[in-house]
Amino acid sequence: MSGAVANPDSPPGDIVCDVCNNVFQKPRMLPCLHSMCFDCLQRILDTNKTADTIECSTCEETIEISAHDAREFPSNEYLITVIDVYFSRHGGDKQCAICDLRSKKIQAKFKCVDCEDFLCEACGGAHSSTRMTIEHSVLSLDELARGSHDDIIREKRMMHCQHHEKEVLDHYCKSCNKAFSDVDESKRGKISEIISRLDIKIKDLFDADVESETVVRELDKSEQTAIDEVEHTTKQLQERIEKEKTELIDTVKKHVTTEKERINGQKDGINQRHAFLTYGSEFCSRVTENGKEAEVIYMEPELSGRLRYLDRLPQPNTTIRCQFPEVKLRNLYGNVNNIKFFEFTPGTTSTVASILPPSVEESDIPKVLSLNLKRRINVFLSDDETSPKITGLCVIKNEIYVSDYANRKIKIFSLKGEHIDTLQNIAAFSITGFDDVIAV
């Protein structure tokens, strides 16, 4: 049974056994207040002869059993009465019980609610004519179908001992030798008092169920909000990375172009000087080796002058150096695999998980700082052995001190970017300064 029967008009589902799916036959009530047919319950008990418990087929509550006998479970008298009333209304065609004893099949027109027998028109008219049945209530089936006498049916229905079906219970079962006390108002009051307490608990459970549904809906919303935020932030990060990638590639290309132009300019100067020296040397050699004595004497002043000029020319810088482009991650993690943009932490009920736990102060979060200079400074010097690795800088008295860890130098520049001086053999991870003192 799916629940307590509210009234005699309850749908058939409320008077149907969940085990056999038929209308209850001799329903027995379990401690959970659900019922089973007597035979259904007995089959379950027989199937679990070695078990100390069975399971309610309706609510699945575990029921402890002391004996494997369905008679140990009380009859659901209320449900039996409801079934009687239901069939009084919806029972269909019935045969007269008295005529049936005479092997006659005559349709019933009445029912004696005291004897619980269906009677034909003749037997119904004569039923109240004896001393034993003169006070019996004989009601027409049409009246019963309209529900006009449901209260009488419920009042007149006889209860039987759960152990002795032929023993009608009034206040005493002769076979059980057991008395049944009257249900006075105090007992009804105690039941009502317990029901009132249960009603409070039922309301609390109902409210909790409603609240849980609300929380689940809010959880679904917060899930979608969190997902949307991740998607939106990820899109922004991707756009920012793409933008920075484009800018960085453009910067690298411009840097390489500038370096190529500088190197090509240096190369042109070297080639030009090479051509000057080569031609002057070769021409003078040809004249002195192949010219006539008079030609040599005549041309000697010009030849010597040119050679002395070429010899006095300072040798151009023949060391080809360049600043190779180097791209590094500007973060505290060192490489791409260690970068994590998001952090999930469970929040409280109905809240979206925060990016930062409440216990973390903003000041505790590592930050990556950068210094954007309005003027570009070329920190690569001609005597550098490798590409500079700048690990810090500071400004002291209008001079910029730059620590180059790779070349073990502290390089000093003017605010215009002109190289002033170099402190050698200092491999500094960082640098700071105050007044006229620097600390590395």
So what's the pLDDT on residue 55?
Answer: 93
Whether 261 maps to a domain, the answer reads: no
147 in a structural domain: yes
Does the reported pTM lie above 0.85? no
pLDDT at 357: 43
Per-residue pLDDT, 177 = 47
pLDDT under 50: residue ranges of the chain: 1-11, 172, 174, 177, 179, 181, 349-373
Residue 84 lies in a domain: yes
Give pLDDT, residue 144. Answer: 75
pLDDT recorded at residue 438: 84
Look up residue 396 and give its amino acid. I
Residue that finishes a domain, picked among 124, 140, 173: 173
Mean pLDDT of the chain: 80
List own/partner pairs for 254-259 with CB under 8 A and 24 or more apart: 255/323, 255/325, 256/325, 259/322, 259/323
Which of these three, 173, 194, 223, is where a domain ends?
173
* Domain residue limits at 58: 12-173
pLDDT at 185: 66
What is the C-alpha separation between 124 and 96, in angstroms, rounded?
9
Q: What is the CATH number of the domain that holds 157?
A: 3.30.40.10
- As a three-state string, the secondary structure of the chain is CCCCCCCCCCCHHHHECCCCCCECCCCEECCCCCEECHHHHHHHHHHCCCCCEEECCCCCCEEECCCCCHHHCCECHHHHHHHHHHHHHHCCCCECHHHHHCCCCCECCEEECCCCEEECHHHHHHHHHCCCCCCCCEEEHHHHHCCCCHHHHHHHCCEECCCCCCCEECCEECCCCEECCCCCHHHHHHHHHHHHHHHHHHHHHHHHHHHHHHHHHHHHHHHHHHHHHHHHHHHHHHHHHHHHHHHHHHHHHHHHHHHHHHHHHHHHHHHHHHHHHHHHHHHHHHHHHHCCHHHHHHHHHHHHHHHHHHHHCCCCCCCCCCCCCCCCCCCCCCCHHHCCCCCCCCCCCCCCCCCCCCCCCHHHCCCCCCCCCCCCCCCCCCCCCCCCCEEEEEEECCEEEEEECCCCEEEEEECCCCEEEEEECCCCCCCEEECCEEEC
Per-residue model confidence (pLDDT) at position 401: 92
pLDDT of residue 1: 42
Instruction: Name the domain count of the chain.
Output: 2
- The predicted pLDDT at position 158 comes to 58
Domain stops at, among 119, 142, 173: 173
Residue 167 lies in a domain: yes
Q: What per-residue confidence (pLDDT) applies to 240?
A: 87
45 in a domain, yes or no?
Answer: yes
Question: Residue 332: its pLDDT value, please?
Answer: 53
In a domain, residue 361? The reply is: no
